[in-house]
């Protein structure tokens, strides 16, 4: 239900902004529909599984979430690990694994581990997302040819020249038509994002690309593969068979469940932090968000759907469309349910190549070289190297290996401060301002304590941040401090930072 703190912040309860929430929900629904289906296809499962996850993420998680304006649903960040899992163990084994992953997330929220996930190195997270983006691009490239992706990223990459050289432009067949449909979708998306007028800024490029491709394929009766959805939405909510949980006797599946819980939680909480920077409303309760995601993934496991996370693309569309409460997220889930229940025949006209094209563009955006350049210029060689190693290993081996290697490399940042890794945080308040003094070394090991102290500070009150006692600061803490300062100052609350020039420069460079 809508929380009391939200009601106080909004003044008149959950329906105080129903008009703006209704409009925003339509925008998010239009953004979510092609992504839900496309991510399902990229994950190697039927498209309706992605729609079920979108419905659960909207209606159930939307009601429980600790980040009211964040939208949850299937995420590109988990598509690779799900694809490999379904390939090795089959779709029936995914449900039990998600049940366990959901329980892990819920318990993590109960024991208040939300802050720990925020301490993960940004270099690891962005390197992981870039690697996932690259894998999505090379995998969905084959969907553009109405072909299935191969078993891993390197095989997909090696097969690309053969796909291109196998084209016969002088003898158009289904393969050539599919590629034209995919390229049309990509062209429309890119053109719309660059040329759309301000008055139509909320019309999603992905939706426009898919609609255009669908109309062309329909009117010209092109012989291309189209998505397949069941006649009834009830068929998409598949309860597990008796005895299916016996697969959990395999220890490897437990490891996969924990990996999904870890990656989904990290991506969700980082997305929530990004959403907080976009608006001035209720801040995220990270532990509550973890519990809500746990419930969502548990239900996705029960109904045999895809795993979910909080997703930044849909969440940013929600904020930009003017959403004020969680009602916009809940309503978008209702619209997905209604559309799939009433118009499944329309979904069956959508070309597979069009959804593959949407994922190619989505994956390409995840491969952000701007972030590794920022890490190098702001924090030096080691954080940039962490990004590169994580990216390369995610692409060349697997996601878990890349993330674990990146986390291991993050420990090297502690070496210069190994003799003093403690951080002392002193808070005091007088009638004029709040005072926070830090002493020791600020690293990701103490980030939970630091962020807790900063977020407890009264809103709209001057703060004096004394960093004179700091001996050092790693890039994870610098990035977090920079984000907190920007968010605080955006509200109009003055913050005066005192400390060595090196520390202040480090925080400023992270901005």
Query: Exposure string (b/e) for 337-358, b if CB count within 10 Å is 16 or more?
Result: bebbeeebeebeebbbbbbbbb
DSSP three-state, residue 197: coil
pLDDT at residue 502, as a whole number: 86
Domains assigned to the chain: 15-352 (no CATH), 367-417 (no CATH), 423-509 (3.30.750.24)
pLDDT at residue 3, as a whole number: 43
Q: How many helices (H) and strands (E) does the chain have?
A: 23, 6
pLDDT at residue 312, as a whole number: 82
pLDDT at residue 252, as a whole number: 80
pLDDT at residue 283, as a whole number: 79
pLDDT at residue 12, as a whole number: 53
HSE of 3, CA atoms in CB hemisphere, 13 A: 17
DSSP state of 497: E
Q: What is the CA radius of gyration of the chain?
A: 23
φ, ψ at 397 (rounded to 5°): -120, -90
Which residues fall within 8 angstroms of residue 410, CB to CB, at 6 or more apart?
121, 123, 124, 386, 444, 476
- The 3-state DSSP composition of the chain as helix, strand, coil percent (nearest 5) reads 70, 10, 25
Which residues fall within 8 angstroms of residue 474, CB to CB, at 6 or more apart?
413, 414, 442, 443, 444
CA dihedral 487, 488, 492, 496 (to 10 degrees): -130
Sign of the dihedral defined by the CA atoms of residues 308, 309, 314, 318, in that order: positive
pLDDT at residue 361, as a whole number: 92
> Whole-prediction pTM value?
0.83
pLDDT tens digit at each of 511 positions of the chain:
334 444 444 445 556 678 889 989 998 998 899 989 999 998 999 999 999 999 999 999 999 999 999 999 998 878 888 998 999 888 888 999 999 999 999 999 999 888 787 788 889 988 988 898 899 899 999 999 999 888 788 888 899 999 998 888 777 788 999 999 999 999 999 999 999 898 888 888 999 999 999 999 999 999 999 988 887 777 778 777 766 667 667 888 888 999 999 989 988 987 887 788 777 778 789 999 999 999 999 999 999 999 999 988 889 889 888 889 999 999 999 999 999 888 889 999 999 999 999 989 988 988 888 989 999 999 999 999 999 999 999 999 887 789 889 999 999 999 988 888 899 999 988 888 899 999 999 999 999 889 888 888 887 789 999 999 999 999 999 988 988 888 788 777 789 999 888 888 888 887 6
Which residues fall within 8 angstroms of residue 290, CB to CB, at 6 or more apart?
66, 105, 106, 108, 109, 113, 114, 117, 265, 268, 269
DSSP three-state, residue 166: coil
pLDDT at residue 242, as a whole number: 63
């Amino acid at each position: 239900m809508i929380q009391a703190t939200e009601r106080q912040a909004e003044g008149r309860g959950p329906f105080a902004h129903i008009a703006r929430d209704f409009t925003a929900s339509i925008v998010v629904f239009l953004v979510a529909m092609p992504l839900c289906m496309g991510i399902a296809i990229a994950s190697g499962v039927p498209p309706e599984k992605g729609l079920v996850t979108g419905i659960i993420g909207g209606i159930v998680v939307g009601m429980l979430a600790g980040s009211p304006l964040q939208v949850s649903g299937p995420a590109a960040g988990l598509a690779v690990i799900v694809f490999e899992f379904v390939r090795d163990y089959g779709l029936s084994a995914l449900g039990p694994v998600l049940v366990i992953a959901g329980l892990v997330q819920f318990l993590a929220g109960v024991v208040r581990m939300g802050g720990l996930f925020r301490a993960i190195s940004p270099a690891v997270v962005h390197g992981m997302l870039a690697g996932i983006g690259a894998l999505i691009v090379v995998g969905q490239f084959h969907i553009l040819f109405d072909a299935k992706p191969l078993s891993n990223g390197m095989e997909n990459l090696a097969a690309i020249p053969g796909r291109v050289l196998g084209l016969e432009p002088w003898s158009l067949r289904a393969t050539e038509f599919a590629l034209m449909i995919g390229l049309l979708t990509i062209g429309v998306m890119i053109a719309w994002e660059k040329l759309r007028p301000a008055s139509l800024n909320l019309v999603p490029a992905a939706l426009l690309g898919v609609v255009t491709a669908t109309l062309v394929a329909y009117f010209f009766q092109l012989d291309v593969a189209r998505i397949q959805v069941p006649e009834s939405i009830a068929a998409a909510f598949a309860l597990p068979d008796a005895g299916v949980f016996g697969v959990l006797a395999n220890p490897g599946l437990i490891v996969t469940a924990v990996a999904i819980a870890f990656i989904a939680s990290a991506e969700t909480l980082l997305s929530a932090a990004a959403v907080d920077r976009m608006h001035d409303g209720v801040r995220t309760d990270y532990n509550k968000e973890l519990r809500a995601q746990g419930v969502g993934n548990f239900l996705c496991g029960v109904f045999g759907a895809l795993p979910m996370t909080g997703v930044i693309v849909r969440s940013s569309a929600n904020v930009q469309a003017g959403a004020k409460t969680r009602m916009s997220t809940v309503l978008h889930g209702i619209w997905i349910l209604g559309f799939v229940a009433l118009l499944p025949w329309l979904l069956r006209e959508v070309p597979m190549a069009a959804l593959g094209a949407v994922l190619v563009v989505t994956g390409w955006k995840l491969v952000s070289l701007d972030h590794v350049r920022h890490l190098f210029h702001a924090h030096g060689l080691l954080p940039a190297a962490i990004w590169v190693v994580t990216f390369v290993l995610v692409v060349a081996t697997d996601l878990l290996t890349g993330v674990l290697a990146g986390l291991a490399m993050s420990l090297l940042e502690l070496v210069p401060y190994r003799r003093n890794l403690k951080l002392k945080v002193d808070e005091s308040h007088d009638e004029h301002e709040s005072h926070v003094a830090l002493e020791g070394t600020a690293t990701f090991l103490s980030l939970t304590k630091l962020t807790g102290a900063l977020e407890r500070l009264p809103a709209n009150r001057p703060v004096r941040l004394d960093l004179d006692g700091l001996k050092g600061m790693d890039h994870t803490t610098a990035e977090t401090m920079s984000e907190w300062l920007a968010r605080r100052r955006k509200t109009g609350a003055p913050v005066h930072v005192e400390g060595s020039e090196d520390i202040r420069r480090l925080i400023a460079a992270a901005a």
